[in-house]
Amino acid sequence: MALLSSLGGIGYVGIPGVATTILGTSVSAPGGLNGTLGATTPASIAGTTLTTTGAVAIGTAALAARNLTVLGRGAFVAPANDSQVMIYSDGVTNQISSTYNSTGAFLPLSFRTADVERLSIAVSGAATFSSTLSATQLTSTSSSASLPGFAVSAGNGLVNSGTNILGFATNSAVGMTLDASGNLKIASLAGTGTRTVVVSADGTLSAP
């Protein structure tokens, strides 16, 4: 059975005649999983609760419909060093962090589906989509010039301006569009007066 202790860990009490085995754990500071490797019926594992439904809560009460609830930061550590991925919430943003303590290194983050890497984020922040993808790799349906789907800065970027029409927005306004026929429409062309011209696929200029 599991007990909640004031130290913030899992507390286990052996049931007479029943061997309670916890394999692969090690002695840790308060708040972690406490117990000698391969030990049976450890006296206590300070800090965590195990509910009757099998849900585990570390440092806090179990949340409804959650198999694992952790207060603070949870780390998945590499076997060879302390390179790790941490998952946590600081109350402002939810974080997935690639980091290390002392013997590891900052490593890229990889996102996989069907056991194939689809997206990799380098330590520098550069994101690479897998070349194995055959469908559209990144999609945005935003038609707002003030909030472009693919922006280089606020109000500047690419916009969905209609069916098979790509819009180019600057200063929160679409100034140019490219349609499926290859026609490039430039609105409010700079110069004397204000006019809109269409550049056809063969380079001919005309009024819209």
Buried b (16+ CB within 10 A) or exposed e, 58-72: bbeebeeeeeebbee
Last residue of a domain, one of 42, 64, 86: 64
What type of residue sits at position 146?
Answer: S
Mean pLDDT of 170-198: 75
Q: Is residue 186 part of a domain?
A: yes
Last residue of a domain, one of 30, 46, 64: 64
Q: What is the pLDDT of residues 98-114, one digit of tens each?
A: 999 999 999 999 999 88
Burial class (CB in 10 A: 0-12, 13-18, 19+), 18: exposed
Question: The dihedral of CA 144, 148, 154, 156: what is its sign?
Answer: negative
Does pTM top 0.75 for this prediction? no
Q: Is residue 20 part of a domain?
A: yes
Decide if pLDDT at 36 tops 70: no
Q: Is residue 196 part of a domain?
A: yes
Number of structural domains found in the chain: 2
- Lowest mean pLDDT: which of 22-26, 83-87, 116-120? 22-26
Element spanning 22, H or E = none
| Tokens describing residue 181 | 């026929």
- Residue 2: which domain range? 1-64
Q: Is residue 82 part of a domain?
A: no
Last residue of a domain, one of 64, 82, 109: 64
Q: Is residue 127 part of a domain?
A: no
Q: What is the pLDDT of residues 52-106, one digit of tens each?
A: 777 888 888 888 888 888 888 889 999 999 999 999 998 999 999 999 999 999 9
Q: Is residue 105 part of a domain?
A: no
